[in-house]
Structure 1
């Protein structure tokens, strides 16, 4: 009985991507730019740009490098590069002098790293398929090399950054994560001076673990306390299971390290991404908002325990059940306690009105919608952010991701 011959021949696209993969392992960070430019040239492309999101999420900033086309930063809003970035889809723009300018989102997993732009004389389906895969490889290379270089940090900075903000940004997970069952996105302000606010998450099996914290004080003291709180949370997450144990572990770490006069407010959550069951512990935080069909339908209340560090009793865990498409918005008090014209606090009612107003517009996805909300709130507060202000949003879809492990 004969055996079927398996075709293992190497096509053009495989050769190109294979060459890049072969080189990537030993490639110094500064050589990514010329390697990408060389790869694009192999398929007839030119004027290659790598655009990285700045920390304030306002601009896409060109990465300098040999053989890269470096122009002015492009706004995230109202630019072809911005549309590709926010929507996570390829954008094509015909050029007046001939050719097509391609904008490809750089997605590492689902974290939006930036955009790769290049020009081709003509574009076909084979070009689109190969460029899509090339952009995914470029994103992975940038994220991998980012762990041991400052080149990409420096390109993304548009103004000086405080030491406290430096600490916080180094602690953060990716600002976005997308899998078939759930999406998350976060935003921190003021981007270059944030101190005590932070968030963290991890998807372990079917459980999405999430935390949003706000350490008392300002500047380096607050950043130091936030770093200990996040470190304790991650340790507890990797050792324990229940939310109340996580709270107790964080509480012990803060009280022993900083004493009785220091505290961290926290919101700790578990979400079963298959069933939509969410567990919540609230330690002195504003209650999260449940958004359904673009409108805030309720606050997700739970029995509030003492902030982390005060030695409070073990908290009671509150359970909520989400419906498919529901969003949960967590925020720190810097959002609602900012004083606006007339001296009054911004307040929860104004926050809810802003959320509902944005919900009347077509959604562009969690990341784009949260960014839009963050900038809208800042405008509504008159551009003021005197305290840290954090937003963290979850959108639940349910189901499984088993189909992604099957090669069609």
Structure 2
């Protein structure tokens, strides 16, 4: 923001006062009404160049004159000590962030790449945007003509998997594109001037830019299809569309817990849905699974999810959540059986409590090995009868908790051998050092490979890691 020299401001202010048709006493009254405290004599001395005034008094006098000029025919106004037009930074990280915010105002989703390119120029950078497809196999370029990137084999894919930042030998900086903690894609950043990609300050500035852009991608996708269409590799059926819209974000975190989700098949999801709610004290987790792939299965699990959320939002305990889901399902005509787990994790003590309605038990992995978690279960969500039994274990900091659909364990290979709980535990133990969303992604990819590239049941998993407070 550029400051106007004091004498130039006084000279222009005096000239505007002369055109305002105000007497000195009238100007002083207007100035006094704005909060000024100088005497009439001091004001007269200032206008004649005999004394100087603090900036705040000069600006109040300018405002008093300008109010009068607004009442007239609109002659030139008296200047303030700092020019409002020069408030916008001309270069650097703040200019980049301002450009991104201003450019995204009322912008449709497909305009965001051009907006971020303009923002990058303020940092002497050329920025390319890549978004992960819904299968999380490929990073799709937003710029027309650029090549897609395989998540498993490319530098950009490695940055996405690790949610990190790296610089190649050619001097290209890659950084993950995040909305909060959810991975959306990556940015390819190429210096065009004197910018040094190894400069930690520049990396931090790029991280700010990526975080803001990730938030804008998520927000604009809620009211436009331009970017969402890029992430789709093929048509998504109506059951899958409904379930995807019902899912929470695939990643969330607080200081005490990180949650990651993966669901497959991304375009044919039919009978499995997950949910969670995080607070300062607690993480509430749920899975609902019909085990079949029919239209009625989709309806049943969505109704179960809606009933669960409705009472959970009101502070219901596990028993009350269970009863609400059971009552909802009992009211559905010809609904298939729905299994599920409702769980709550006390983030202060690590105590995990859950109720099981005919579903595979939660898995807990500690230091690479599965911890026994067998507990009582009821056959299904029942609307009447005694409260369901509650199982309780204590999670240590660093432990992984997994809720998975039946299709994960029951998917078979060509010889008819199911993937099985032992393989699930082995994959969780092997990948325990990764981020929870990456652990979940790798597990569902392994199930897909085991099944020969096809899913006969939904394969979904929710991974939660307790963090030390």
Q: TM-score, normalised by structure 1?
A: 0.86
Unaligned stretches of 5+ residues in structure 1: 1-7, 400-408
Displacement of 1:216 in angstroms is: 4.8
Q: Quick one: distance in 1 between partners of 2:324 and 2:242?
A: 22
What corresponds to 2:188 in structure 1?
117
Q: What is the CA–CA distance in structure 1 between the aligned matches of 2:203 and 2:418, rounded to whole Å?
A: 50
Match of 2:95 in 1: 15
| 2:467 is equivalent to residue 388 of structure 1 | no
Q: Which has the larger radius of gyration?
A: 2
1:180-219 alpha-carbon deviations (Å, 9 max, x no partner): 2111111111111110101011113311111011025323
In 2, are the aligned partners of 1:165 and 1:193 still within 8 Å (CA)? yes
Would the alpha carbon gap of residues 70 and 313 (structure 1) be closer, same or farther in structure 2, given more than 3 Å must change? farther
Structure 1 window deviating more from structure 2 (205-214 vs 308-317): it is 308-317
TM superposition score normalised by structure 2: 0.76
> Which of 191, 215, 227 is the matching residue for 1:152?
227
- 1:177-216 correspondence runs (5 A): 177-216=252-291
The answer to whether the 8 Å contact 2:110/2:227 transfers is no
Distance in 2 (CA, whole Å) between partners of 1:226 and 1:384 is 22
- The reply to whether residue 270 of structure 1 matches residue 344 of structure 2 is yes
Displacement of 1:9 in angstroms is: 10
Task: Choose between structure 1 and 2: higher strand proportion.
Answer: 1
Greater alpha carbon shift after TM alignment, 364-373 vs 18-27:
18-27
Q: Distance in 2 between matches of 1:373 and 1:201?
A: 19
Deviations 1:357-388 (A, max 9, x none): x25xx723222222222222322333332111
Q: Deviations over 1:129-161 (max 9, x none)?
A: 211111111001101111111122211111222
In structure 2, the residue matched to 1:285 is 359
Structure 2 residue matching 1:315: 3-state secondary structure: coil
Higher helix share: 2
Q: What residue is the counterpart of 1:339 in the other structure? A: 412
Cα deviation, residue 69, structure 1: 5.9
Q: CA 1:287–1:262 in 2, change beyond 3 Å: closer, same or farther? A: same
Change (3 A) 1:308 1:125: same
Is it true that 1:37 corresponds to 2:110 in the alignment? no
User: Counterpart of 2:172 in 1: which secondary structure?
Assistant: strand
* Structure 2 gaps, min length 5: 1-86
CA distance in 1, matches of 2:125, 2:333: 56
1:369 to 407, 430, 439: 439
CA shift digits 1:33-52 (9 cap, x unpaired): 21111111221122x32111
Q: How does 1:52-91 map to 2 (within 5 A)?
A: 52-63=131-142, 68=143, 70-91=145-166
Higher RCO structure, 1 or 2 (CA under 8 Å, sep 6+): 1
Task: Output the aligned Cα RMSD.
Answer: 2.2
**Match for residue 5 of structure 1?**
none
